[in-house]
């Protein structure tokens, strides 16, 4: 029996192999613990078949949701976020809760290096009652085993309704006017 080296691209690969039982090892998968490969044995029969293998990544991503999208902003106090594909349509893994400090932690994520980061995508599903959900799928380039990111959650706008009437003639509406509201510091 021969030995085979199968190139995996985007999670799939193929090879024509002789029937027999093989010991399987992972030799290259940046951001993953190669010793976690499962299963480590594979039997080829005389029929075409598919083998499914898994590896566990060992990176940690901390995402903080706050009002600035940077260090020091007022955090949201609750919500949920999930890892997805680039479109946000396919979810990977469980939904992660955002804690009272605005923090969501994703363990066992893949990572690359600062020169070749591993791109992960996320979608915020819910926020606290005072903030808007981040509206888009967002990408994180995991360039190291541990990383922190900040995502902006804007305060919710509350609709206000106004009337403008003539001060001298009670109840008479003013037909055309503009009011300008300037925020106080």
pLDDT at 1: 77
Look up the CATH superfamily of 59-152: Immunoglobulins (2.60.40.10)
Q: In order along the chain (185 residues), what is the average pLDDT of each group of 10 residues?
A: 92 95 94 95 92 96 96 94 97 97 97 90 97 96 95 88 92 93 85
pLDDT at 113: 85
pLDDT at 157: 81
Tell which residue, 11, 21, 13, 76, has the closest CA to residue 3: 21
CA distance 139 to 167: 54
Q: Do residues 104 and 52 lie in contact, with contact meaning Cβ atoms separated by under 8 Å?
A: no
pLDDT at 158: 79
pLDDT at 124: 98
Longest pairwise C-alpha distance within the chain: 101
CA distance 65 to 18: 52
For the chain, give every residue range classified as CATH 2.60.40.10: 59-152
- Cβ partners under 8 Å of residue 126, min gap 6: 78, 79, 80, 133
Q: Hey, what are 88's tokens?
A: 């946000």
- Cβ partners under 8 Å of residue 72, min gap 6: 66
What number of other Cβ atoms are within 10 A of residue 124's Cβ?
25
What's the chain's Rg over C-alpha atoms? 26
């Amino acid at each position: 029996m021969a030995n085979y080296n199968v190139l995996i691209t985007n999670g799939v690969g193929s090879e024509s192999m002789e029937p027999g039982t093989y010991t399987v090892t992972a030799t290259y998968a940046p951001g993953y613990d190669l010793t976690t490969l499962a299963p480590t044995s594979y039997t080829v029969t005389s029929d075409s078949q598919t083998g499914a293998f898994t590896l566990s990544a060992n990176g940690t991503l901390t995402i903080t949701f706050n009002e600035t999208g940077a260090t020091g902003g007022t955090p949201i106090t609750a919500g949920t976020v999930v890892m997805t594909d680039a479109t946000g349509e396919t979810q990977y893994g469980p939904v992660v809760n955002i804690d009272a400090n605005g923090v969501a932690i994703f363990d066992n994520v893949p990572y690359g290096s600062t020169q070749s980061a591993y791109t992960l995508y996320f979608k915020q599903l819910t926020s606290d009652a005072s903030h808007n959900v981040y509206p888009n799928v967002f990408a994180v380039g995991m360039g190291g085993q541990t990383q922190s990111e900040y995502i902006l959650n804007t305060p919710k706008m509350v609709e206000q309704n106004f009337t403008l009437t003539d001060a001298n003639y009670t109840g008479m509406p003013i037909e055309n006017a503009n009011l300008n509201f300037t925020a106080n510091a």
